[in-house]
Amino acid sequence: MKIFTVAFFFILTLQNIATGQDSGVDILDKKLRRAETPELRADALLHLAGHYATRDSIYARYYLNELYELIENKNLNRFLSSAYLEEGILNYYSDLYPEASSCFLKSENALKEIFDVKVAARLWLFWGNMHALRSEYDSSLIKYQRAYSYYEQADDLKGMSDALFAMASEHFSQGNPEYSLHYHNRAYALRISLQDSARIANSLIGLARIAEQQDSLSKSLGLLKEALRLREMIGDKRRVASSHLGLGSFYIEHGKPGLAPSHLTTAYDIFEGLNERTGMTYALLKTSEAYILNEEFDSALSTLDESCRLSKNIDNPSLMAECYKIRSRLMESLGEHDQSLYFYKRYTKLNDSINNSEKERRFSELEVKYLSQQKSARIEKLEAQEKLSRQRAVILISGVFLLLLVIVFIMIFYRQQNQKLHYRNRLLESEKELQKQRMELQERQRKELQERLEYQEKELASKALSIYKTSSLMEETVNQLDALCADEKKQTSVPREINGITNNLKSFARLDLWEDFEHSFTKVHTGFYKTLLEKAPDLTASEIRIASLIRLNLTTKEICAITLRSESSIKSIRFRLRKKLEISGDDNLTAKIMSL
């Protein structure tokens, strides 16, 4: 009896973990109606299927079918793993364990394509629950640990606490209270930090079971009552009924059957209001046990009749077997040993049938799993071959494409090189032609400049010659006038007038003629005076004029004639020019001045 109580209590606790608070079906319906995109509609359908998975399998399957159709039509493969998971949870709560395993396996395969850490965490948690119900402890613990790891990656504290709670419950079922207490304390600490009253109540129940096993009955009872208080505070009727059922079972197991009926009756009333016939049946069975222990046999008999009727209606062989077992005890208490034996035989027969059915179910599930694995292996092999073929095709196509690309590149490269070479040749020809034209132009300009320079120098020489002739004529005239003035016999007032004329002629020769000459000289030799003064800034005007005449390559005699100076005077000026221009005695003065 105690084993049956623990098993049923464990199932209810797992159901509480999975379902949580009512997610608000009205809000989900509005979300579905207002969904404007396929993604939003798929999300709403997924939540509705999850909501009804533990409440109404018809609605849940309706929403799942619509979700699968939407995924296929709109190629929403990222929702596929979640859809398989919700279908697996639905089959899990409908006791269709082979179908649930198949859905969980499909969800796992879908996660390999598009991974979602939250979906993976829920998958391994429920898969672990299913292994736990079939007493596959090692498998369940492995899956719970993976669920905890994924919840930790997602930083989901509620999920982490649920995984820890599940591991604690599994260790308790295996008879490891130390490990169970360790995981319960970790889960309880997380739930306290989250201030999640529903989950705190579940942890308190788990801790109460450990305290009960350690014979700390008062502590266990206190924890159960605190869990009931929390559940009543949050108003979750299903959990409140579960707590009343747990308290009634606790009193029966520990010799206080008189306190059990009030809790069990409350549990029955709540389950009846929720139309949960399994809970109603179990509450009636525990109530009949309490009546038998209290020796209220009539009440026990009527309660058993009602529980047997409900067990038949819901077609639950396990509860029916429990009915036969309790009725056998009742008949034994009434002294009707033949009836007691009859019902005990029916109990053992039905229980054996259940065990055989369970074995067949497990065998079928293993067979389905084996076939699924074989099918998955074949699919993976075919996919690998197809992938390899695709890779080879891609490599071949890529190779051909690269070869064509290289050929095109080479052709473009050679074409560009030819174009560049042609352009370079044309450019060289153009440059040669341009250079030739430039040289011809420069040659013409040089000739024109040379001709102009020769012309100007001829003109300048002509002017210098003109100055020379004019100067010679003036000198001769002056000499004649001087001779007249020297005649003593003709000393009159005329010599004074002749002296005036002589001075005017000399002044004219030295000013007007020189100004005209310098103007013409500057046009021909533009930078001569500037260069000359840069080398010898202290030159006098007469020295500059003599230097300009030397620049015209005139001899000393010619310079004397032009300037009306004596040869010694010109030599003296040449000496001063050599000194001021820092020209040594070995160098030719004329050549140096002409190079300026």
Q: For 410-430, how does the pLDDT look when each residue is reduced to its tens digit (9 = 90+)?
A: 999 888 888 888 888 888 888
| pLDDT at 189 (0 to 100) | 94
Distances from the Cα of 80 to the Cα of 41, 67, 263, angstroms: 14, 9, 44
| pLDDT at 14 (0 to 100) | 42
Residue carrying structure tokens 């190629």? 75
Structural domain includes residue 586: yes
Dist. CA 457–CA 525, nearest whole Å: 9
Residue carrying structure tokens 């032609």? 433
| pLDDT at 293 (0 to 100) | 92
Dist. CA 253–CA 269, nearest whole Å: 22
Worst-scoring range by mean pLDDT, 156-160, 165-169, 482-486, 530-534?
482-486
pLDDT band at 462 (very low <50, low <70, confident <90, very high): low
User: Which one, of 559, 569, 461, lies nearest residue 517 by Cα?
Assistant: 461
| pLDDT at 28 (0 to 100) | 74
DSSP state of 23: -
User: Which one, of 580, 129, 25, 84, lies nearest residue 592 by Cα?
Assistant: 580
79, 60 contact by CB (below 8 A): no
- The pLDDT > 90 percentage for the chain reads 32
Domain enclosing residue 542, as ranges: 525-596
- pLDDT above 70 (res 524): yes
Number of domains within the chain: 1
**Cα angle 468, 470, 473; round to 5:** 105
Determine the average pLDDT of the residues in 568-590: 85
Helices 177-194, 197-213: crossing angle, 10 deg rounding: 160
| pLDDT at 187 (0 to 100) | 94
**Greater model confidence, 116 or 446:** 116
Determine the average pLDDT of the residues in 398-415: 89
Dist. CA 481–CA 490, nearest whole Å: 12
Residues 6+ apart with CB under 8 A from 162: 17, 125, 147, 151, 187, 199
> Which amino acid is it at 236?
D
**Greater model confidence, 275 or 23:** 275
Determine the average pLDDT of the residues in 497-501: 64
Structural domain includes residue 411: no
| pLDDT at 579 (0 to 100) | 86
pLDDT band at 544 (very low <50, low <70, confident <90, very high): confident
User: Which one, of 377, 393, 521, 382, lies nearest residue 457 by Cα?
Assistant: 521
How many Å is the maximal CA-CA distance in the chain?
A: 209
**Greater model confidence, 260 or 373:** 260
365, two tokens: 């599930």
**Greater model confidence, 2 or 510:** 510
Dist. CA 153–CA 166, nearest whole Å: 18
In CATH, what number is assigned to the domain containing residue 559? Answer: 1.10.10.10
pLDDT band at 487 (very low <50, low <70, confident <90, very high): low
| pLDDT at 24 (0 to 100) | 59
Express each pLDDT in 199-254 by its tens digit. 999 999 999 999 988 889 999 999 999 999 999 999 888 889 999 999 999 999 99
281, 317 contact by CB (below 8 A): no
Structural domain includes residue 554: yes
- The pLDDT > 70 percentage for the chain reads 82
Residues 6+ apart with CB under 8 A from 586: none
Residue ranges of alpha helices (H) inside 134-196 are 137-153, 157-173, 177-194
Dist. CA 382–CA 538, nearest whole Å: 110
User: Which one, of 8, 20, 5, lies nearest residue 238 by Cα?
Assistant: 20
546, 559 contact by CB (below 8 A): yes
Structural domain includes residue 103: no
- pLDDT above 90 (res 448): no
**Greater model confidence, 238 or 502:** 238
Structural domain includes residue 295: no
CA of residue 516 relative to chain centroid, distance: 90
| pLDDT at 30 (0 to 100) | 77
pLDDT band at 527 (very low <50, low <70, confident <90, very high): confident
DSSP state of 83: H
**Cα angle 123, 126, 131; round to 5:** 120
- pLDDT above 90 (res 164): yes
227, two tokens: 């869990």
422, two tokens: 């042609």
Residue 249 has φ and ψ, to the nearest 5°, of: -65, -40
Structural domain includes residue 556: yes
| pLDDT at 8 (0 to 100) | 40
Residue 565 has φ and ψ, to the nearest 5°, of: -115, 160
- pLDDT above 70 (res 495): no
pLDDT band at 106 (very low <50, low <70, confident <90, very high): very high
Residues 6+ apart with CB under 8 A from 189: none
Determine the average pLDDT of the residues in 483-511: 59
DSSP string, 41-59: HHHHHHHHHHHHTTT-HHH
| pLDDT at 251 (0 to 100) | 93
| pLDDT at 502 (0 to 100) | 62
Structural domain includes residue 574: yes
Dist. CA 179–CA 12, nearest whole Å: 22
Structural domain includes residue 496: no
| pLDDT at 365 (0 to 100) | 56
**Greater model confidence, 138 or 153:** 153
Tell me the helix, strand and coil percentages in the chain, rounded to 5. Answer: 85, 0, 15
